[in-house]
């Protein structure tokens, strides 16, 4: 089922996700719906907050993306085949290394793309849908997506990572989007 994506201005995007305590049928169904929703919007990642559920859960799929990335498990490079879409439950990003600056967008901010500085390589640890804890190292676009999505789970948005000049140049559009969202919600 394709879910509605929450837009900037909705307070849930600023809500830290609750830890997922058990991988039950609801969690599995939500993961399936999030993957379908991400694909239907041609996104590379989607956090549970973005579909109105403040949990520690995100999905990522960079397989079809036209920007470079790499993934390593137990010291060996892997292609992502059979691993993506990734469902990351209670994920933690650590060991940031290096730096990459590149265009970044967000499904909760339609049509807004801005250069964002991120670590080039990170370690990601998470629980999968089988309830197993696993970890990998990644670079490039996958590292960017992991940092962006795990930020969402903590109520942090990519606009918080923009330099002040970029954010200022987008302020009119951000205000409009926020107003639009709030008027849909019926709040001021
Ligand atoms: Zn996002």
What are the pLDDT digits (tens) for 130-187? 999 999 999 999 999 999 999 999 999 999 999 999 999 999 999 999 999 999 988 7
CA distance 188 to 172: 17
Residue 180 is among the residues annotated as catalytic for this protein: no
Summarised one tens digit per residue, pLDDT across range 101-120 is 999 999 999 999 999 999 99
CA of 49 to the centre of ligand 1 (A): 9
**The total number of residues written for the chain in this structure:** 188
Summarised one tens digit per residue, pLDDT across range 176-188 is 999 999 999 887 5
Place of tokens 């049928």: 25
Catalytic residue among 36, 95, 149, 180: 149
CA of 102 to the centre of ligand 1 (A): 15
Q: What is the pLDDT of residue 188?
A: 59
Q: Which of 22, 138, 121 is nearest to 84 (CA)?
A: 138
CA of 173 to the centre of ligand 1 (A): 16
Please report the domains of the chain, with CATH numbers, ordered by start residue: 11-182 (3.90.45.10)
């Amino acid at each position: 089922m394709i879910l509605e994506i929450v837009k900037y201005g909705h307070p849930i995007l600023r809500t830290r996700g609750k830890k997922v305590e058990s991988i039950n049928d609801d969690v599995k169904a939500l993961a399936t719906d999030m993957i379908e929703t991400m694909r239907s919007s041609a996104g590379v990642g989607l956090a549970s907050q973005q579909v109105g559920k403040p949990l520690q859960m995100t999905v990522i799929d960079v397989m079809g993306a036209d920007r470079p990335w790499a993934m390593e498990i137990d010291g060996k490079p892997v292609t992502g085949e059979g691993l993506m879409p990734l469902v990351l439950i209670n994920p933690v990003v650590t060991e940031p290394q290096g730096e990459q600056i590149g265009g970044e967008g967000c499904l909760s901010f339609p049509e807004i793309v801005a250069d964002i500085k991120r670590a080039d390589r990170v370690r990601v640890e998470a629980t999968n849908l089988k309830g197993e804890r696993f970890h990998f190292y990644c670079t490039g676009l996958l590292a960017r997506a992991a940092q962006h999505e795990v930020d969402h789970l903590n109520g942090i948005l990519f606009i918080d990572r923009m330099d002040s000049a970029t954010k200022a140049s987008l302020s009119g559009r951000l205000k409009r989007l926020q107003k639009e969202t709030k008027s849909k919600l019926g709040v001021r």
